[in-house]
A and B are shown apart, each in its own frame.
Chain A
Amino acid sequence: MVESVIGIRGKDFVLLAQDANTTKYGILNMKFDTNRLFKLSEHCAMLAAGEPGDVVQFAEYVGKNIQLYKMINGIELSPYACANFTRHEMATSLRSRNSFLANLVVGGYSTNERDQNRAQLYSIDYLGAMVSANVVAHGFCQFFALGIGDRLWKEDLTVDEALFMLQTIVNELGKRMAAYPHCVFVRIIDAQGIRVLDNMYPEKIHVAKPSEGELQTSADMMDIHS
């Protein structure tokens, strides 16, 4: 719940952002450069957050199977197909011996010319419910990301506007989350493939120094030597 994964869909691109902390016992920051992105194909990737072992096991399993499909059939699966396959695996494993507590964001750019929407973004929760949306997020950051997304998202969002939205979300997380993201990794997926953009950091919070007046107690204000 503490890990943030966010996806934003724009005009012909998808922005995938994840916080880079790993925390332990609720209080310790173990690692500042955790990677939560798993590449599914040249133009499709998945962010996964949740139970640490489950996340890696499930994501690698799905990723490798999608690569296998490409090797056998010679075509790259569209993000829609990847997301549906992932959802199916998640839903099947739900009622089996091994279920995975992993929440996923699957996003990518479809290289199929017949697809109307080339940028595709899906959210899959740990139960296997899949939904397509313009802004998706999992974890506590959902409370912030979806609200900010409702306000700032618009049709034909450009990369700069999407990065501005993401920076707004990250600043808000830095301000309001107790376990705040020290660093956010940002990747973009568009017709050229998956690229890594600059890291994002929450804005430093400036707090005014307390005034001298607060250092006085009522006893100080009484003149006892009169």
Chain B
Amino acid sequence: MGDDILSYNGGVALAMKGKECVAIACDKRYGVQNRTIATNFTKIFQYSDHCFVAFCGLATDVQTVSERLKFRTNLYELREQRKLKPVVLYNMLTNLLYERRFGPYFVFALVVGLDPKTGETYVYDSDNVGAVSDNVNLATVGTASEYIFGLGELFFKPNMNSDELFEATSQALLNGVDRDSASGWGAVVYVIEKDKITVRELKGRQD
């Protein structure tokens, strides 16, 4: 397994806020230590019209936790007869992770969302045992998170529009993964606005 279980598979995700829009991006590499196995492993999952979650860490747990969360959100929607709000999704996720406090899943998570009526934006992150964070402007998880934090802080401006937000997010991600051998091989960026969600695939350095 190597010395660090969280960097066994590699991968990274980033979330940033704009004015009535949020962006979430991840790389597409799936590898086993220094071997790349596939380049189509995206780590972002949609749980509601304007709620997205990114999971980074051990690939099997990325898939397991996203499936288990989907199960809970499906039941919520059936019982409540309404779609999830970002804060509710975040609390569900942290609760799911904390249930396994003494035998945890090896994933760190990012939750982003938007309220389509008020335009309020939400970006939260969580560690692998469900530590809650504030609603922040910028959050990253994964093996290259430190590199991307630095770039993200540099490119972030308050109240960016969706195009500026897309540029800032993409540049921070692409340049950050170039410094990390366990991430890269392309990226996907979701820009979530009140009336639409734009998905763009980026082709960075294919290494």
Nearest CB on B from A122, distance (A) = 10
Q: Which residues of A contact B32 (CB under 8 A)?
A: 125
* Number of A positions contacting B (CB below 8 A): 19
Stretch of A8-16, A56-64, A128-136, A209-217 with 4 or more beta carbons under 8 angstroms from chain B: A128-136
B82 at the interface (CB under 8 A from A): no
What 5 pairs across the A-B complex have the smallest Cβ distances? A129-B59, A128-B60, A127-B60, A129-B60, A131-B38
Instruction: Say whether A133 contacts B38, CB under 8 Å.
Output: yes
A123 at the interface (CB under 8 A from B): yes
Instruction: Say whether A130 contacts B37, CB under 8 Å.
Output: no
Nearest CB on A from B67, distance (A) = 8
Closest to A143 in B: B35
Instruction: Say whether A129 contacts B103, CB under 8 Å.
Output: no
Q: Which residues of A contact B58 (CB under 8 A)?
A: 127, 129
A183 at the interface (CB under 8 A from B): no
Partner of B40, one of A128, A129, A131, A143: A131
* Number of B positions contacting A (CB below 8 A): 16
Instruction: Say whether B59 contacts A127, CB under 8 Å.
Output: yes
Question: Residues of A at under 8 Å CB distance from B?
Answer: 87-88, 90-91, 94-95, 123, 125, 127-133, 136, 142-143, 146
Closest to A137 in B: B37
8 A-B contacts, Cβ less than 8 Å apart? A91-B63, A95-B103, A125-B32, A127-B60, A128-B63, A128-B64, A129-B9, A142-B35
The DSSP consensus for interface residues of chain A is mixed
Instruction: Say whether B38 contacts A130, CB under 8 Å.
Output: no
Q: Which residues of B contact A95 (CB under 8 A)?
A: 103
Q: Give complex CA distance A136, B64 in Å.
A: 21
B41 at the interface (CB under 8 A from A): yes
Nearest CB on A from B47, distance (A) = 18
Q: Which residues of A contact B60 (CB under 8 A)?
A: 90-91, 94, 125, 127-129
Q: Give complex CA distance A215, B32 in Å.
A: 47
Question: Residues of B at under 8 Å CB distance from A?
Answer: 9, 30, 32, 35, 37-38, 40-41, 58-60, 62-64, 67, 103
Closest to A126 in B: B60
Instruction: Say whether B63 contacts A130, CB under 8 Å.
Output: yes
Q: Which residues of B contact A128 (CB under 8 A)?
A: 60, 63-64
Instruction: Say whether B37 contacts A133, CB under 8 Å.
Output: yes
Q: Which residues of B contact A136 (CB under 8 A)?
A: 37
Instruction: Say whether B37 contacts A123, CB under 8 Å.
Output: yes
Q: Which residues of B contact A143 (CB under 8 A)?
A: 35
Q: Which residues of B contact A130 (CB under 8 A)?
A: 63
Nearest CB on B from A88, distance (A) = 8
Nearest CB on B from A145, distance (A) = 11
Q: Which residues of B contact A90 (CB under 8 A)?
A: 60
Q: Give complex CA distance A128, B9 in Å.
A: 12
Q: Which residues of B contact A129 (CB under 8 A)?
A: 9, 30, 58-60, 62-63
Instruction: Say whether A132 contacts B63, CB under 8 Å.
Output: no
Q: Which residues of B contact A123 (CB under 8 A)?
A: 37-38
Q: Which residues of B contact A142 (CB under 8 A)?
A: 35, 37
Q: Which residues of B contact A94 (CB under 8 A)?
A: 60
Q: Which residues of B contact A132 (CB under 8 A)?
A: 38, 40
Instruction: Say whether A146 contacts B59, CB under 8 Å.
Output: no
Nearest CB on A from B156, distance (A) = 32
Nearest CB on B from A129, distance (A) = 4
